């Protein structure tokens, strides 16, 4: 039961991740909210992230909000496990998202996660809102299969190019391309 409560908490974050990103981050009706402002800056500058201090504050506030109802519904042990699962998976999301931008990563999941997210950044911000998984994109019909991802030169990720030549690393060529601005 504890495992189930932990997994339910993780699933709860996964759903919140999709909703926050899609509606608070990208729906023009709501983007004036603090998350939306930070998120638009993240899209505009590429390697901009809101401060970890703010994120920690949000995590603590979310845990404080959730713990009461969770304990009321499921009792202290299972309620705490649910909140722990939720907050841990949120931490994992933050780590994964940061790594996608700053580190090339490895493995099938790592490659998938980066392509899924950079398709969202550079091709269609109305698609692929999930960062840790594509589940909710499939559920809500916003999933798009990335093809070659054209990265604008000024927003290129550090791990994408060879710093000596300025070209895409050979092993990433089939997955990414550089969209150079005309003036360059
Ligand atoms: Zn991002
Ligand atoms: Zn976004």
C-alpha 7 – ligand 1 centre gap (Å): 25
C-alpha–C-alpha distance, residues 52 and 149, integer Å: 28
The arithmetic mean of pLDDT across residues 74-84, rounded, is: 96
C-alpha–C-alpha distance, residues 83 and 35, integer Å: 21
C-alpha 81 – ligand 1 centre gap (Å): 29
137 SS3 class: helix
Exposure of 37 in the CB half-sphere (CA atoms within 13 A) = 3
C-alpha 45 – ligand 2 centre gap (Å): 12
C-alpha 123 – ligand 2 centre gap (Å): 11
C-alpha 26 – ligand 2 centre gap (Å): 6
Contact 23, 32 (CB under 8 A): no
C-alpha 4 – ligand 1 centre gap (Å): 30
C-alpha–C-alpha distance, residues 37 and 49, integer Å: 11
User: In the predicted model, is pLDDT for residue 80 greater than 60?
Assistant: yes
Number of other residues whose CB lies within 10 A of the CB of residue 92: 14
User: In the predicted model, is pLDDT for residue 183 greater than 60?
Assistant: no
11-69 confidence digits (pLDDT tens):
999 999 999 999 999 999 988 899 999 999 999 987 888 889 999 999 999 999 999 99
Taking the complete model, does pTM exceed 0.85, yes or no? Answer: yes
61 SS3 class: helix
103-150 confidence digits (pLDDT tens):
998 899 999 999 999 999 999 999 999 999 999 999 999 999 999 999
C-alpha–C-alpha distance, residues 151 and 140, integer Å: 26
Expressed in percent and rounded to 5, the helix, strand and coil fractions of the chain are 65, 5, 30
C-alpha 78 – ligand 1 centre gap (Å): 33
The per-type count for the chain, helices as H runs and strands as E runs, is: 6, 2
Tokens encoding 82 = 């649910």
Bridge partners for 177 per DSSP: 150
Smallest-distance ligand from the CA of 113: 1
Tokens encoding 107 = 């493995």
The arithmetic mean of pLDDT across residues 89-97, rounded, is: 96
Q: Residue 47: its pLDDT value, please?
A: 81
Q: Residue 184: its pLDDT value, please?
A: 47
Smallest-distance ligand from the CA of 126: 2
C-alpha 120 – ligand 1 centre gap (Å): 8
């Amino acid at each position: 039961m504890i495992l189930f409560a932990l997994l339910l908490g993780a699933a709860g974050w996964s759903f919140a991740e999709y909703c926050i990103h899609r509606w608070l981050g990208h729906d023009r009706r709501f983007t004036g909210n603090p998350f939306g402002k930070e998120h638009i800056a993240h899209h505009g500058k590429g390697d901009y992230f809101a401060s970890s201090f703010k994120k920690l504050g949000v995590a603590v506030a979310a845990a404080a909000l959730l713990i009461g109802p969770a304990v009321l519904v499921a009792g202290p042990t299972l309620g705490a496990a649910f909140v722990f699962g939720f907050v841990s998976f949120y931490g994992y999301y933050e780590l994964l998202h940061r790594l996608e931008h700053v580190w090339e990563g490895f493995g099938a999941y790592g490659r998938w996660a980066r392509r899924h997210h950079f398709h969202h950044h550079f091709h269609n911000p109305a698609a692929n809102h999930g960062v840790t998984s594509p589940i909710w994109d499939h559920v809500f019909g916003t999933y798009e299969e990335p093809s070659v991802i054209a990265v604008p030169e000024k927003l290129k990720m550090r791990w994408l190019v060879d710093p000596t030549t300025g070209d895409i690393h050979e092993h990433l060529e089939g997955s990414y391309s550089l969209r150079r601005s005309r003036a360059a």
